[in-house]
Chain A
Amino acid sequence: AQSVAQPEDQVNVAEGNPLTVKCTYSVSGNPYLFWYVQYPNRGLQFLLKYITGDNLVKGSYGFEAEFNKSQTSFHLKKPSALVSDSALYFCAVRDKAAGNKLTFGGGTRVLVKP
């Protein structure tokens, strides 16, 4: 069975500082990994994905994530956080062998303070 862990319920960061949101996963086959962001009373918005190839993936709004197979991690990063980045972030995994459904982590709330 596939699973995702986001060890931090909340991350607080000052505006302009680097932001990291942690994610680790467990799958039986090759993982497809995704990050989504959810703003209040909104649906999930796709940020970026790792399918294959370069371990460093760049996505929307200046976010990037690094796939680390040995550590089974896919941490989300942004070099300089903005107040507008405050939202709920979800990591998700799809095991190609297990079909097309996504398994989500519990979410990490990011609060960027001015």
Chain B
Amino acid sequence: GAGVSQSPSNKVTEKGKDVELRCDPISGHTALYWYRQSLGQGLEFLIYFQGNSAPDKSGLPSDRFSAERTGGSVSTLTIQRTQQEDSAVYLCASSLVGGRGPGYEQYFGPGTRLTVT
């Protein structure tokens, strides 16, 4: 079946502009995650959504970062007033949650490469 999709694949923006990154999870997956991959910081957790529960925002680096998930499916990560240090690959993942079977692994999308000039 279809995997996790993300758009755009590449985004170049000027410092100070706002950007929106989109993630479409695997159909039926109730959990959705955002991570950031950068040369200096490796892979960092940003935020996690599970069903209708309040999201775990503990990884967001500043209040310029926010995310929402509409209808329990598509998610948008928004970065306001972008800075050069925001340049990274933003990865989205989804998973089933619960049980001892395949519910624990996360499936990743191809990522959005954000470059702030």
Contacts and interface: CB of A to CB of B under 8 A. Distances in A.
Interface residues of B, number: 25
A43 B100 contact: no
Q: Decide if the interface of chain B is mainly helix, strand, loop or mixed.
A: strand
Contact of B100 (A52, A94, A102): A52
Contacts of B48: 99-101
Given A101-B48, A103-B45, A104-B43, A43 B108 contact: yes
Contact of B108 (A44, A100, A101, A105): A44
Interface string B91-113: 10101010010001111111100
B94 to A, nearest CB: 11
A100 B105 contact: no
B107 to A, nearest CB: 7
Interface of B: 4, 31, 33, 35, 42-43, 45, 48, 50, 56, 58-59, 91, 93, 95, 97, 100, 104-111
Interface of A: 32, 34, 36, 41-46, 49, 51-52, 90, 92, 94, 99-107
